[in-house]
Structure 1
């Protein structure tokens, strides 16, 4: 496997990890919790999902051939609070991720040093990809944090639960040695 293929495989794995954190959080929350926000200027998980989904569709549709900020996108509308049932939010989330993974599957090593535009600004494909890894990690972190706030003691940890680090490390060392 060459460097470009290795990079694309690593990126796909990172995106899958980011998606999984969001998926595991959604599973723990109900409709009311998905629409909770701390105050008027904070975003609910529902708003974040609409924003991330809109971003994914815009950035990754026709990734190599059109500007990543599509004229059909209404970014400001993504941040308006509106009630969407959990299933509809999940569909927005899944549609966005499907577009991301389809675009990534179509990329080749030669594409990584090509340029794409986002809001008229040139970016190397690798830079545009890294930009989205950072962006989605940021928002999924918000989703997880809000979920954890809402579930309190009922929260099911998405990583190593408190008090289990030593046990987990031993298992990992034993598995890998």
Structure 2
């Protein structure tokens, strides 16, 4: 079970890294760009992830994951924030998540936590967020890639590089490692 927690932390770090590498390729204007009034900008998505994360992982084992102080609807409003403010909130949320995960012990994984009064084992709650955050990180990456066009710097295996990537991987001895160890 310790490997579950370590794997979860590595996966969360991987998706955080993908979002940050994507946003580093953008200007401030691109961070706030929306294709239309009904769509979300990357900044809005980042605010939503941060709001969700702070709500879910503050007092994770002892209070409902939907905190009374959270204003989810406001997370989706376009606001005049700076890049620095977006990333300050983003980093605060990730720190909250990792601090919470770092305190967990194997025996906590079957404990029940609540999200909007729905009971989840700790493992189920972590899995829920491991589906939710990558869903939004994919949106961030896609929006960034659209804006960058041919200037986009791949975050994984670049186009037409699979053969050489696989050849390199298969030149290594078989061994147990996490897929994120290469990044």
Interval containing the TM-score (normalised by the shorter chain):
over 0.9
Give the match for residue 108 of structure 1: 105
Q: Partners of 2:154 and 2:172 in 1: how far apart?
A: 22
Q: Partners of 1:171 and 1:164 in 2: how far apart?
A: 11
Q: Partners of 2:11 and 2:127 in 1: how far apart?
A: 10
Give the match for residue 18 of structure 2: 21
> 1:86: Cα distance to partner?
1.1
> 1:176: Cα distance to partner?
3.0
After the TM superposition, which segments of 4 or more aligned residues of structure 1 sit over 6 Å from their partners?
none
Q: Partners of 1:84 and 1:127 in 2: how far apart?
A: 34
> 1:84: Cα distance to partner?
1.2
Once the two structures are superposed, residues 56-107 of structure 1 have per-residue CA deviations (whole angstroms, 9 ceiling, x without a partner) of 1000000000000000000000000012111111111111110010000000
Q: Partners of 1:45 and 1:32 in 2: how far apart?
A: 10
Give the match for residue 177 of structure 2: none
Aligned ranges for residues 1-177 of structure 1 at < 5 Å? 4-176=1-173
Runs (5+) with no aligned partner, structure 2: 175-183
Instruction: Tell me the number of residue pairs that the alignment of Structure 1 and Structure 2 aligns.
Output: 174
Q: Partners of 2:119 and 2:47 in 1: how far apart?
A: 26
Q: Partners of 1:114 and 1:37 in 2: how far apart?
A: 41
> 1:175: Cα distance to partner?
2.5
Runs (5+) with no aligned partner, structure 1: none
Q: Partners of 1:127 and 1:87 in 2: how far apart?
A: 33
Normalised to the residue count of structure 2, the TM-score between the two structures is 0.93
